[in-house]
Every structure is written in C-alpha cells, then in structure tokens.
A and B are shown apart, each in its own frame.
Chain A
Amino acid sequence: MIIKLERVKIQSRKTEEAIDITAKVDEIVAHSGVKNGLVNVLTSHTSSGLLVTEGIPCLEEDILTHFSRIFPEDADYHHRRYLDFDGRLGFNADAHLKSILGGISCSFPIEDGKVVRGSRQTIYFMEYDGPLERTCLIQVLGE
C-alpha cells in the first residue's frame, strides 16, 4: 500500500478565480508509483474550494457569477466583526459560504497508473477570497 501526500502551492491572482489543476493532479498520480487506487484532492482553506466541471471559460464565469448572486458580498452577515484570534476583522462570509456550496474536495479512481475521469471533467481549485497563495492537498493511495 502506497500513501503519498503532496502540498501544492497555488498563487491566485484575482479576488475570485477558477484555476485548472487537472494536469497537476495527473502529474502527481503518474509519479506516485500507484497503479490502482484513489486520488483525493482538497483545499486546506475555508474560503477557497475544489470542484469538478466541464473545463470551459463560460462555465467558470457562470459558477463565480451565480455563486456571487447566491452569496452577495454586501449581504447582512454575522461574520463582520473583529476576530481576536486573527487580529483583524472578518468580513468574507461570502467566500466561506461559496466554499461550502461548491465543496472543498474531490476524488477519482486510479487505474493502470492514470486518473480515471470523464473526458469533460476538469478539476478546479476555486479562489473566492484572493489573491492569496493557497495550499492544495493531493493525496494518492493505492498499490
């Protein structure tokens, strides 16, 4: 049994951004030595996310636009106050809620050393509160 965990740094460059990490996941799986197993992909943050959808720009835009429609920046959130453990105010409830809505992880089977996914499936790291350097966790398990 092989278990390998990679911490991949991702520098987002905008406030909100859908970043295609499919190739990175494929690469890590290919170098893991695992022929048959599972790959888990997760964000390690609560104001970013991980989701899978068709990899075309119009959908990237739709996801971000309609998440913002559901959780607008200016809504009346309780999460608008001083956070003593952070030494600053928190006012990014919209980003946290988008993270919950879109999810923070995905997993795919591995067969013959390759990630098994549908031809249209693209893995996105979703930035909802950037620009920031983020950490994406990619864990490969199998034999």
Chain B
Amino acid sequence: MIDFHTHPVLIREFVEKYPGYERMARRVFNIGNNFQPLETFFLQMDVAGIEKAVLLPIDCRRARKDAVSSNEQVAELCARSDRFIGFASVDPMKKNAAKDLENAVRKLGLRGLKLDPALQDFRPHDRKAMDVYEAAAELKIPLVIHTGMSWAPETLLARGNPLLLEEPVRAVPKLNFVLAHWGWPWVWEATALALKYPNVYLDTSCLYYDSPKEFYQFVFSKQIPTTVIERSLRNKVVFGSNYPRVEIKNMVHALKSLGLTEGCLNKILRENAERLLGIRAGD
C-alpha cells in the first residue's frame, strides 16, 4: 500500500541539523506534537500496512519565511530509505521556478511536484503557475496540489476552492493533478472535476472534525455517495493520510470502513498511485 500524502515535519534528526526546522513545524505548519525519531515514521507506516510513503515539501519561503521541509531534506530522507518517494516543491511566483523544478527532478531524483496555493500565496490559475504546470508535464511527473481548507494559520480559505484549478486542468491536459484533501469542504466540486477531466485525481487525506471513521462515513457516504467512488472514481482516487496531522493507521481503517470492494480498495491503496508515479507492479 502507498500513502500519497505525508509531510516530514516532525523528524527529530532534522531539528538539530537544520536551523529553522522546529520554527517551521510550529509556526508555519502549525503542529504541536513532539518531534520523533525517523524510526517512528517507519513504525507508523508498518502498523498501518503502508509500504511506501510520498513525502511532500512546500516551498513557501516567500510567503511564510520558512519552507515546510525543503527539496534537499526530502531527497535526504529518500536516500536513507527506498520506502520514501520524494516530491519537490517550487515557488511558482519565482522567476526560475520551472528550472528549479527540473533541477529537483533531475539532480535530486524527486518524482513529483507539490504546490499549496494557500500556504504559498499564489492564485492557482496565475500565468506564472501555468508555466510550472507545463514544466511538470514536460518532466512527466504528477502534481499534488492543496485544495480545500488549510489548517495553516494566515492562509486564505478561498485559495483552496478546487474550481480555481479548472483552467489549469484544461490548459495542461498532460499533467495529472491530484487534488489533495478531496477539496473539502468543496467535495462535490472536486468530485465533479475528477469525473469530468481525465487528468484529475483525488486524494483521501481529508479530516476536519470528528474521528477519521466518522468523518469518512459522513463525507463518503452522506455528502457524496460511496457508489460514486466504487463505480465512477475507482481509477481516480489515491489514499493519502496527511501524516503527521493524523496517524496513517486511522485513515486506513476509516477508508476500509466504507464497505468498498476489495478491487476498488486495491486501486485506491496501491494501483492508482503506482500508475501516477510510473511504478510497475512489483517494483
């Protein structure tokens, strides 16, 4: 199983090594949990049955002073373990963003792009952002882009409206857009985009109240019918936990509580992610 949405923001080994890492976690990412040794990350994956995790940085230095993990930190973690799949992040408003992305992919070996219009403070349909989308398409890497509500302080809720991505999705059809957090609370808007456009995917890393199981039961059976996932979106959804905002195991259990068929779960928990990442089964 693959977790498509994790953030390496509580790695104990990085606190002493990288000045500003702790400040980033507390002030920018806004998480208060204790820092943990890297081993805990692997154990959290183990108890959830997760073999590989996508690590997502966010280059929000212009907007928030600190990046939420750097590309280099992500690459360092990937070098330590092949259980990690590292993504890059660049600032779309920066002049050389496309080149930065190319370097992160070719030199650091990162395998996708992560953007967060709220935290990075840019409009998702800005012309400069379009250049970065096109660069990602050229590099044949997927994009995980924050949609929906952000817990980070000082961020605009409106920047997470998934419909702001419709123009980019249409303009860059060769780029696969993974809409993080299923766009909550705009879950129907995110669902509609995934239904309409072949290059739009959704990740399951949404949890904003109650327990994971309660939240999933409401959003994925009452807010949108579970049958939409089972019948129409089974090839368009990837599992994401948003660890460490939530433990991975709780999100896996919540997903499995929906009553989806084994075939559908296999796609969400593995096959769709492998296809997006260009991983062949068994690699």
Chain A residues close to B by CB (< 8 Å)? 11-15, 74, 80-83, 85-89, 91, 130-133
Contacts and interface: CB of A to CB of B under 8 A. Distances in A.
A87 B37 contact: no
Given A13-B43, A15-B249, A82-B208, A132 B32 contact: no
A88 B245 contact: yes
B40 A131 contact: yes
A81 B209 contact: yes
Nearest to B245: A88
Interface stretch (B98-106, B176-184, B211-219, B265-273): B211-219
B173 to A, nearest CB: 36
A36 B58 CA distance: 56
A80 B210 contact: yes
Size class of the B contact interface (CB-based, 8 Å) = 20 to 34
A136 to B, nearest CB: 14
B153 to A, nearest CB: 9
Given A15-B47, A80-B210, A81-B210, A89 B249 contact: no
Given A81-B210, A91-B210, A132-B40, 13 more contacts: A74-B213, A80-B210, A80-B211, A86-B32, A87-B29, A87-B30, A88-B31, A88-B151, A88-B244, A89-B209, A89-B211, A130-B47, A133-B36
Contacts of A87: 29-32, 151, 245
Q: Is the interface of A mostly helix, strand, loop or mixed?
A: loop
Interface of B: 12, 29-34, 36-37, 39-40, 43-44, 46-47, 151, 207-214, 244-246, 249-250
The 9 tightest CB contacts between A and B, nearest first, are: A131-B43, A87-B30, A87-B31, A86-B32, A91-B211, A88-B245, A80-B211, A80-B210, A133-B36
Contacts of A89: 207-211, 245-246
Nearest to B151: A87
Contacts of B36: 132-133
24 contacts: A11-B40, A12-B43, A13-B43, A14-B47, A74-B211, A80-B209, A81-B210, A82-B151, A82-B208, A82-B209, A83-B32, A86-B33, A87-B29, A87-B32, A88-B32, A88-B244, A89-B207, A89-B210, A91-B211, A131-B40, A131-B43, A131-B46, A133-B12, A133-B39
A82 B206 CA distance: 13
A88 B30 CA distance: 9
Contacts of B244: 88
A91 B245 contact: no
Nearest to A74: B213
B244 to A, nearest CB: 7
A82 B30 CA distance: 12
A12 B34 CA distance: 15
Contacts of A14: 47
A131 B45 CA distance: 10
A89 B32 CA distance: 11
A88 B47 contact: no
B47 A11 contact: no
A91 B215 CA distance: 11
Contacts of B47: 14-15, 130-131
A132 B214 CA distance: 24
B209 A133 contact: no
B40 A88 contact: no
Contacts of A132: 34, 36, 40
A80 B214 contact: yes
A73 to B, nearest CB: 8
Contacts of B245: 87-89
A82 to B, nearest CB: 7
